[in-house]
């Protein structure tokens, strides 16, 4: 079980968190201006690297804050 560092509450068990997937996927400012393909890409296409990437978590059972961390998907090592 991962030990995730909540920026507010410190290290807590993974079971206290909800996963939010890839970080930095911004909701389009004007969804109506996007083509179907562009909208489909926003909805469904995400990176899936082996190695480091930025992902979002929410401390659901704690302070309920969303935050972004960097994790190596192959080793589960965290980096700042």
Partner 1 sequence: MNRRHRSAGRVDRARVLRFVFDGVSYEGYPGDTLASALLANGIHHVSTSVNHGRPRGILTAGSEEPTALVRVSAPYVEPMRTATTVELVDGLVAEPLAGRGRLTGPDRARYDAVWAHCDVLVVGGGPAGLSAAVEAVREGARVILVDERPEPGGSALDLGTAFETRDLIADDLAVLRSSAAATVLSRTTALGLYDDGLVTAIQRLTDHLPAGAGGTRQRLWRVRAGRIQLATGWHERPLAFAGNDVPGVMLASAAVSYLHRYGVLVGRRAVVLTTNDTGHAAAATLGAAGMEIATVVDTRDAYPVIEVFGGTRVRGVAVGERRYDADAVLVAGGFSPVLQLYAQAGGRLRFDGARGAMVPDGHRGPVQYVSPLPPPSHVPALQGGYVDLQRDVTVADVARARDAGLRSVEHVKRYTTAGTAHDQGKTSGFLTALAAGTGLELTTSRPPYVPVLFAALAGRDRGALFDPVRQTAAHDAHVALGAVFENVGQWRRARYYPRDGESMDEAVRRECRSARSSVAVMDASTLGKIELVGPDAGEFLDRLYTNVISTLAVGAIRYGVMCGVDGMVFDDGTVARLADDRFLVTTTTGNAARVLDWMEEWLQTEWPDLRVWCTSVTERWSTIAVVGPHARTLLPATTHSLPFMRWQDAVVAGLPARVCRISFSGELAYEVSVAWSSGAALWDAFVGAGATPYGTETMHVLRAEKGYPIIGQDTDGTVTPHDLGLGWAVSTRKAHFLGKRSLARPDTSRPDRKHLVGVLPDDPSLRLPEGSHLVADGVPVGHVTSSYHSAALGRSFALALLTSGRHRHGERLHATLLDGAGLRTTSVTVTSPVLYDPDNTRRDGDAPEAVVSLPDARPAASPFAAFADRFAAVADRTGGGVRIAEVPLGAQLTVRGPAPMPPNTTIVTATHTALWLGPDETLLVSPAGGDLPRPPDDAWSVVDTSAARVAIAVAGPHARRLLAFGCALDLRPDRFGAGGCAQTHVARTQALLWHRADDEYLLVVRPSFGPYLADWLVDASAGLSTAATIDQPYGQFSPDEHTRMKT
- Residue ranges in contact with partner 1 by CB under 8 A: 1-3, 8-10, 12-13, 15-16, 18, 20, 26-27, 31-32, 34, 36, 39-40, 43, 56, 58, 60-66, 75-77
Considering the complex, state which of residue 39 and residue 53 has its C-beta at the smaller distance from partner 1: 39
Confirm if 67 and 57 have CB atoms less than 8 A apart: yes
**In this structure, what token pair is assigned to residue 53?**
């990437």
CB closer to partner 1 out of 44 and 48: 44
Residues 45/25, Cβ–Cβ less than 8 Å: no
Q: Do the Cβ atoms of 22 and 46 come closer than 8 Å? A: yes
Mark 25-39 as b/e (b = at least 16 C-beta within 10 Å): eeeeeeeeeeeeeee
Q: Cβ of residue 14: shortest distance to partner 1, in angstroms?
A: 8
Least distance (Å) between residue 25 CB and partner 1: 10
| CB of 56 vs partner 1, minimal distance in Å | 7
């Amino acid at each position: 079980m991962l030990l995730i560092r909540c920026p507010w509450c410190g290290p807590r068990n993974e079971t206290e968190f909800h996963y939010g997937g890839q970080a930095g996927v911004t909701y389009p400012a004007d969804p109506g201006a996007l083509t179907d393909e562009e909208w489909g890409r926003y909805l469904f296409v995400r990176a899936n690297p082996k190695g480091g990437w930025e992902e979002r978590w929410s401390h659901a059972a704690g302070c309920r804050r969303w935050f972004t961390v960097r994790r190596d998907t192959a080793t589960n090592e965290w980096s700042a």
